[in-house]
């Protein structure tokens, strides 16, 4: 229960960060996709139904606050979660480098999913050439930040675990 509340609070915080403070970073048009990092974290370490719904809800939140059409990011995040979950069965090493690589690949999957769905529902000229730059930049930024976000989430969890042990 406490863990779910922690993840809910973190989700709200990440959506808030992505709509406000992260725009202050000198990264040009790229906004670090911490929401994707959280979905990957869930896919790797908490593959359960709540995490599936959480990934969908996070994508939907991004759609509500910024996407011109609902469902784009909800689809992409759900897909990312599913792929990370399926591949997590084969990932035995858990260190910062591996997490960064997984996030990088997940970001590429998300970008490709967005472009594909975009091409189907919102036809646009020069979509692929413009998108390629975004996908790679976003993936690099997300991969760079992933070890830090993973570390913070693990700390939050172990703090909750300590509280649980002391109260018992």
Partner 1 sequence: MLAFLRKNQVLLSSGFCLLLSLYILTAAARGHLKQDPVGPILLWLMRPLQIAAQAATGWIKEIDQRYATVAGFRTENDRLRKRIQELEVERNKLLEAQATNQHLQQLLEFRSHLPSGSITASIIGNSASSWFQSCLLDKGSADGIRKGMAVVTPLGVVGQVVSTTSRSAKVLLITDANSGVDVLVQRTRARGIVSGSLENVTIMKYVKRSEDIQEGDRLITSGLDGVFPKGLMVGTAVKVRKQSLGLFQYVEVMPAVSSAQIEEVLVVGGEPSQAKN
> Among 7, 41, 81, 150, which residue interacts with partner 1 (rule: CB under 8 A)?
81
Residues 112 to 151: which contact partner 1 by CB under 8 A?
114, 117, 121-122, 124, 126-127, 129-131, 133-134, 137-138
Q: How far is the CB of 8 from partner 1 (least distance, A)?
A: 11
Judged by CB under 8 A, does residue 53 bind partner 1? yes
Judged by CB under 8 A, does residue 5 bind partner 1? no
* Cβ–Cβ under 8 Å, residues 24 and 15: no
> Among 75, 100, 102, 146, which residue interacts with partner 1 (rule: CB under 8 A)?
75
> Among 10, 39, 40, 52, which residue interacts with partner 1 (rule: CB under 8 A)?
52
Give which of 131, 111, 136, 141 is closest to 27, Cα–Cα: 141
Dihedral angle of Cα 137, 140, 144, 150, to the nearest 10 degrees: 100
Q: How far is the CB of 145 from partner 1 (least distance, A)?
A: 14
What gap in Å lies between CA 49 and CA 51, rounded to an integer?
A: 5
Contacts of 85 (CB under 8 A, 6+ apart): 43, 47
SS3 of residue 124 by DSSP: coil
What gap in Å lies between CA 34 and CA 36, rounded to an integer?
A: 5
Give the footprint of partner 1 on this chain (CB under 8 A). Answer: 12, 15-16, 18-21, 23-24, 28-31, 33, 35, 47-49, 51-53, 55-56, 59-62, 64-75, 78-79, 81-82, 85, 114, 117, 121-122, 124, 126-127, 129-131, 133-134, 137-138
């Amino acid at each position: 229960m406490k863990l779910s509340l922690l993840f809910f609070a973190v989700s709200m915080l990440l959506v808030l960060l992505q709509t406000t403070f992260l725009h202050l970073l000198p990264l040009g048009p790229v906004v670090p996709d911490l929401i994707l990092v959280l979905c990957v974290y869930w896919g790797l370490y908490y593959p359960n139904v709540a995490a599936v719904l959480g990934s969908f809800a996070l994508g939907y939140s991004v759609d509500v606050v910024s996407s011109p059409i609902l469902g784009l990011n909800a689809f992409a995040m759900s897909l990312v979660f599913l792929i990370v979950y399926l591949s997590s069965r084969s990932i035995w090493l858990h260190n910062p480098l591996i997490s960064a690589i997984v996030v990088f690949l997940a970001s590429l999957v998300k970008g490709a999913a967005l472009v594909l769905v975009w091409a189907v529902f919102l036809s646009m000229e020069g979509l692929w050439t413009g998108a390629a730059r975004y996908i790679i930049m976003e993936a690099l930024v997300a991969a760079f930040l992933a070890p830090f976000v993973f570390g913070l989430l693990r700390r939050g969890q172990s703090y909750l675990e300590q509280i649980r042990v002391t109260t018992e």
